[in-house]
Amino acid sequence: MTLPTGRRRRPAFAAGLATLAMALGFTAVPADAAPPVPDVDLVAVGDSYTAGTGATDFIPNFPCDQTPGGYVDILKNLAIVDDVVSNGACHGALLDARASNIVPSVMEQIAALAASEALSGRTELVTLTAGANDLGFNTVLFTCAFSTFEACQLAVANASATLPAIQADLVEALSAIHRAAPRAKIAVFGYPLLFDPVRGLPVLSPESQALVNSGTAALNATIFAAVAEANAVSKANAVYIDVTTPFAGHEANTLQQWIVLDLVPPIELTDDTFHPNAAGHDAYADALTATVNLQALARR
């Protein structure tokens, strides 16, 4: 049976449209296909706090020790964060390379991630903790734990003298991150105060505890100033995230501690001592999500 001319032309016309669509690079989308889910590409760099130390048992993997379960892994499990998260942070990392330090520095982490394009124009969020190792915090803590109050005073004073150099190095690191990932929000964490000198257990003298806390506060102020300087000089799009408030009442010498410390004397300094425990890393993740609007960062 001969079809009417108009009905013969319709299949030919539809086929022509399909051919044109293919030539232009269009593909058919099923009617029931879900739209792509927006997500955030996350990259992390820094020291042991970002490397996860304290979250679970310490796992040596020199030169870049990382511990699973840290705040970066917690963020990775959020639905809005991309499953592929690049964490270049290393336990013991300094901001910049030193001849005697084999652990990849923050600047070396940034360079490696940029070279691999894990840190790139597609990155929406970068997190960072750094400065405590440059301050020599382990030396300060060891001195304050096992020596006289006068020695503790001197150790804190010597550490404080390094703060201008730490600020300069941190500004350089933030600027380098921004150059490699110009779209990214850079979340720069401070550190918690380690002791409650008033209500906490007397693991150190109250005076020494207060001195250590003053050193941490000075470091946090330096980090805050570095973020402001990097934003002014390099438009780094960085934000400082304070964690002293959420950690208040959960210091290392409290019974509800969020910071690793064996409260049974004598004090022993292990690799994870004075790092956030699992609850502490949760607090870091919560501080970020309370400060940074992840939904606004998500790529659509």
The answer to whether residue 29 scores a pLDDT higher than 60 is no
Mean pLDDT of 129-134: 97
Between CA 131 and CA 105 the distance in angstroms is 11
How far, in whole angstroms, is CA 213 from its chain's centroid? 22
Give the model's pLDDT for residue 175. 98
Taking Cα atoms as reference points, which of 130, 220, 226, 132 lies closest to residue 175?
Answer: 226
- Give a yes or no: residue 45 inside a domain: yes
243: which residues sit within 8 A by CB, 6+ positions away?
189, 190, 191, 192, 283, 284, 287
Read off the pLDDT of residues 246-265 as tens digits, 9 standing for 90 and up: 999 999 999 999 999 999 87
Read off the pLDDT of residues 175-212 as tens digits, 9 standing for 90 and up: 999 999 999 999 999 999 999 999 999 999 999 999 99
Give the model's pLDDT for residue 286. 98
87 Rama class: left (phi>0) / alpha (psi -120 to 50) / beta:
beta
Read off the pLDDT of residues 284-296 as tens digits, 9 standing for 90 and up: 999 999 999 999 9
The answer to whether 71 and 247 have CB atoms below 8 angstroms apart is: no
CATH of the domain at 167: 3.40.50.1110
Give the model's pLDDT for residue 105. 97
- Give a yes or no: residue 151 inside a domain: yes
- Give a yes or no: residue 288 inside a domain: yes
Between CA 290 and CA 188 the distance in angstroms is 14
Give the model's pLDDT for residue 300. 57
The answer to whether 237 and 220 have CB atoms below 8 angstroms apart is: no
Q: Give the HSE-up count for residue 82: Cα atoms under 13 Å, Cβ half-sphere.
A: 22
The answer to whether residue 58 scores a pLDDT higher than 50 is yes
Domain that holds residue 232: 36-297
Q: What percent of the chain has pLDDT over 70?
A: 87
Tally of structural domains, the chain: 1
- Give a yes or no: residue 58 inside a domain: yes
- Give a yes or no: residue 59 inside a domain: yes
- Give a yes or no: residue 198 inside a domain: yes
Q: pLDDT tier at 98 (50, 70, 90 boundaries)? A: confident
